[in-house]
């Protein structure tokens, strides 16, 4: 099996490439390097044994993708490439629809030309918006409140409609939409890791404060209806996330339509994350309490029981200190990201 990984030089995509290589697959990583890192690909080549090809190509370039799929005899696609900042999507919605939705259309057109039968899509819990209840299962109504969430939901709709058309034509196409919660942590071997510019994820932001890269971290709201007054979120380790992708890919058959929430099934509050970083790093840093941000629900966490029941997958990293420790090890050894 030859797998094309879009966004293969990014945080999650590079971890997928690493795991696929470890599992013995041939991999084509495609990334335009706008927010991905050539250094991640270079690091992965050290373990690839000639089974990793890389192309600096935009996922919106349909003709280039067709050529690459033919050249590398691709039969499965894992699609991670996307812009993923909620706030940025509110400021620049058309950019998000162009990059996330329109580019996915070009990718699907290339898949159609080649006859790809398996497609694993990196979706998001942001497609649910502000849910009526938690934990959230796959039947939770999808009502995004940001262009980012909507741009991903549109891709889910395209996949559904395309799969229906292929089924009617007698050429079944199998796909899965995996709805992520908060992805955290890094490769325990620190070969690759998390390097965003700007960095907005809570755990790396707090770690940067512990390293002295930031002078403080802010808690946005301390009066939520939660045990300690701060927001609660579900943090899934990136390696567990990729394990789920591998399990789904192996199970996916032409004609399948699968939807799974990927999380650990419990939440940690902002204060709990802060205390975890303090324990793991053994360092103090300044914490400032400030007002709530608009649109931040009090609690969001997954009900991952569907994928557990159907595929036997469950998260291995469930203790927050274990998740934070892998992130800390990466940032401590790479304080300037891949430039370290």
Q: SS3 of 243, please?
A: helix
SS3 for 5-21, per residue?
EECCCCHHHHHHHHHHH
Burial (0-12, 13-18, 19+ Cβ within 10 Å), 220 = middle
Q: Is residue 25 within 8 Å of residue 100, measured between CB atoms?
A: no
Q: Which of 128, 148, 180, 268 is catalytic?
A: 148
From the list 29, 15, 336, 5, the residue with the least C-alpha distance to 195 is: 336
Per the annotation, the verdict on 148 as an active-site residue is yes
d(CA 106, CA 79): 12
Nearest to 69 by CA among 16, 123, 118, 12: 118
Collapse the DSSP code of 314 into the 3-class scheme (helix H, G, I; strand E, B; otherwise coil) and give the result: coil
Catalytic residue numbers, as ranges: 148
């Amino acid at each position: 099996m030859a797998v094309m990984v879009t966004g293969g030089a990014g945080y999650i995509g590079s971890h997928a490439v690493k795991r696929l290589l470890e599992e013995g697959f041939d991999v084509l990583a495609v990334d335009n390097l706008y927010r991905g890192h050539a250094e991640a690909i270079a690091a992965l080549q050290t373990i690839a044994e000639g089974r990793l090809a890389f192309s600096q190509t935009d996922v919106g370039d349909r003709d280039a993708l067709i050529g690459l799929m033919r050249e590398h005899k691709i039969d499965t696609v894992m699609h991670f490439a996307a812009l993923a900042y909620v706030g940025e999507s509110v400021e620049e919605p058309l950019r998000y629809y162009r990059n996330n939705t329109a580019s996915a259309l070009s990718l699907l057109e290339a898949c159609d030309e080649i006859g790809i039968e398996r497609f694993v899509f990196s979706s998001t819990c942001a497609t649910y918006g502000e849910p009526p209840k938690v934990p959230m299962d796959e039947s939770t109504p999808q009502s995004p409140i940001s262009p980012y969430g909507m741009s991903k939901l549109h891709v889910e709709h395209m996949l559904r409609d395309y799969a229906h058309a292929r089924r009617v034509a007698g050429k079944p196409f199998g796909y899965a939409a995996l709805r992520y919660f908060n992805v955290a942590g890094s490769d325990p071997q620190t070969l690759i890791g998390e390097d965003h510019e700007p960095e907005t994820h809570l755990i790396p932001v707090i770690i940067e404060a512990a390293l002295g890269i930031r002078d403080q971290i802010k808690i946005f709201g301390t009066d939520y209806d939660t045990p300690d007054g701060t927001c609660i979120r579900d943090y899934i380790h990136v390696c567990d996330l990729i394990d789920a992708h591998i399990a789904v890919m192996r199970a996916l058959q032409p004609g399948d339509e699968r939807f799974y929430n990927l999380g650990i099934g419990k939440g940690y509050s902002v204060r709990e994350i802060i205390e975890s970083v303090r324990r793991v790093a053994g360092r103090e840093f300044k914490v400032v309490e400030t007002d709530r941000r608009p649109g931040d629900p009090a609690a969001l966490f997954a009900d991952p029981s569907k994928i557990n029941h159907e595929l036997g997958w469950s998260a291995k990293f469930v203790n927050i200190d274990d998740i934070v420790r892998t992130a800390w090890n990466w940032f401590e050894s790479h304080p300037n990201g891949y430039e370290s």
